[in-house]
Amino acid sequence: MEKKITKADIERVASIARLCPSQDELDGLTADANAILEYFSLIDEIPDSVAPQTYVLSHENALRPDEEKKPDPKGIRRGFSRRQDNYMLAPKSF
Amino acid sequence: MELSKTLSTTNAIKSGRLTASANLQSKISRVENYDSAVKAFIETYFEDARSAAKQVDAKIAAGKPVGKLAGLVVAVKNVLAVKDKKLTCASKMLENYVSPYDAAVIEKLRAEDAIIIGSLNCDEFACGSDNTKSAFFATVNPVSFFDNSGEMSNLAASDKFVPGGSSGASASAVAAGFCDLALATDTGGSIRCPAAFCGVTGFKPTYGTVSRYGMADMAMSFEQIGPVAPDAYGCALLLSVISGKDYRDSTTAKAISTKAPDASFATASASASSSKKIRIGVPKEYFEGANPAVAKAVKDAMGRFANKSGCELVEISIPAVKFGIPAYYLLVYSEFASAMQKYDGFKYGAKPESNDELVPTVSKVRTANIGKECKRRIMLGTYITTKEHKDAWYTKALKARAYVRAQFDDALEKCDFIVGPTMPNLPWKIGEKASDPLQSYLEDVLTVPANLCGLPAGSVPCARIGKLPVGLQVIGRRGADYETVSLMAQIESSLVV
């Protein structure tokens, strides 16, 4: 499979990742991505028959006691960068 | 056998020979004298710490019971939430973020009467192997300043070495005597690498042993919080406090519990398999690409330990080691890109200054406040998880993870432990490996397998080449955390570094 990454790929990915790198940064990221993924294509040697593994342990769900716990709203609100009364301010999205 | 430094301090405090306040003050004095050179702390909590130390002293004076960490001074990597203190992750993005609550491990430290002295630098969002990727400043390995007697007398040293990463300041703080113990996190070697580079002891628990509630995550299927200490006893003591199931972190595992080190601690590995000799596997792949001086130092140390202990050393082969770096980094990129989505400047992160619409505003905030290596990981993680590239990279990396795990599990069927160097090379000078990300990644080749497989692994100092320390890595069976740290204690006591 062709895995070469182009500058256009990087620009598209930047847009999805909500980043806006400069032209110089795009050139650097494209070169880095190709060098890194060229080395990482070593994993093509892994047989396709191997089952993918997401987690290393099989877990039971960790359930909390069935009692309500209220977070401290004052501490959480303090983290908002822009706020008005008890609300977080965000730019218009439509 | 010589008493562990951690055990000596805790015995002195509990018996009243040393007050918690005096112990704390000795650490504060060292921070004030030397941290301008080492640059380990992002924030110090001296006043809160003095108040906590007084409370411990009052309890001891009144004959009241005290916790397992009574009066011990602990510093914490700044990816762990400490209530009402900055949680920066060494990133401009969170430079002024104040945590509204304590992480689970911080709650446990407080419950056992530890004295929390401050928060420690690291690579930004724990992404790095040498601590130069902090957005604030690079921590310097204290060995740069050591004289021949191991004292920090040469603060004007021109050769400044990296402390390893990402928890470089956690190991530096222990090595420089700024604290008795430190908390760190290990996603691909971030505890073991700095422990090796700074000449201290560090341990990454089995995945699921320690709650990650209140930790800013980097790659959630790999990372664990773990201890850094002057010795294996200190690691075992701190591990016994922070481990345990937590309903707030669904990945904590029920079956894993880690007891406090007791009188049989330094022989627990032997008693765990008392009917036969301990078999220690030495994978040839762990030595093939290593600096020859490092490889020789580790082999010599293991030979000396085997002669003294009667353990059996067996040369083994784990060919899948070569897939560790690609499998690890591809999966880390994917998980990191996902974990970083929440830093958009509103609930978390730097204040947006523009009044543009949502997407341009978020993009500007992220671009201005996330560092180069983190951006690289986000971009690559986004690329390899897009629909058209997922099968070629992400799914393939999950298969590689299974393949690596199968070979390590097979080796640990035949052997009780695996040992080798922690790092293939000695600490390098600050700035020496800044330009090539791949070269930097390859330094993690010997540490990432334990994270891919969820295995417990630690590093003990085993030699010095010049003044630069060499770390010996011990990897145990999943869940055998106590036995693994115990073997580290036995190796430590058999070697005079």
Domain boundaries, chain A: 1-42
Do B400 and A46 count as a contact with CB atoms less than 8 A apart? Answer: yes
Q: Domain A1-42 class?
A: mainly alpha
Which are the contacts of B331, defined by CB distance < 8 A and separation ≥ 6?
Answer: B219, B221, B222, B394, B397, B398, B401
Specify whether B190 is catalytic. Answer: yes
Residue B276: inside a domain, yes or no? no
Q: Which helix (H) or strand (E) holds A59?
A: none
**Cα separation values, B295 from B198, B226, B308, B377, Å:** 18, 26, 20, 31
Tell me how close the Cα of A51 comes to any Cα of chain B, in angstroms: 6
**Minimum CA–CA partner of B386 in chain A:** A13
What does the pLDDT profile of chain B (497 residues) look like in tens digits?
456 899 999 999 999 999 999 999 999 999 999 999 999 999 999 999 999 999 999 999 999 999 999 999 999 999 999 999 999 999 999 999 999 999 999 999 999 999 999 999 999 999 999 999 999 999 999 999 988 777 888 888 889 999 999 999 999 999 999 999 999 999 999 999 999 999 999 999 999 999 999 999 999 999 999 999 999 999 999 999 999 989 899 888 876 667 888 877 876 554 444 557 899 999 999 999 999 999 999 999 999 999 999 999 999 999 999 999 999 999 999 999 999 999 998 888 888 877 778 899 999 999 999 999 999 999 999 999 999 999 999 999 999 999 999 999 999 999 999 999 999 999 999 988 877 899 999 999 999 999 999 999 999 999 999 999 999 999 999 999 999 999 999 999 998 65
Q: Do residues B371 and B288 lie in contact, with contact meaning Cβ atoms separated by under 8 Å?
A: no
Tell me how close the Cα of A52 comes to any Cα of chain B, in angstroms: 4
Neighbours of A1 (CB within 10 A): 8
Do A53 and B399 count as a contact with CB atoms less than 8 A apart? Answer: yes
Residue B217: inside a domain, yes or no? yes
Show residues of chain A in contact with B362, CB under 8 Å: 18
Burial B316-328 (b: 16+ CB within 10 A, else e): bebebbbbbbbbb
- What range does the domain containing B139 cover? 5-271
Residue B10: inside a domain, yes or no? yes
State residue B487's pLDDT score.
96
State residue A90's pLDDT score.
79
ipTM of the complex: 0.91
Q: What is the CATH number of the domain that holds B101?
A: 3.90.1300.10
Do B100 and A39 count as a contact with CB atoms less than 8 A apart? Answer: no
> How many domains does the structure of chain B reveal?
1
Residue B453: inside a domain, yes or no? no
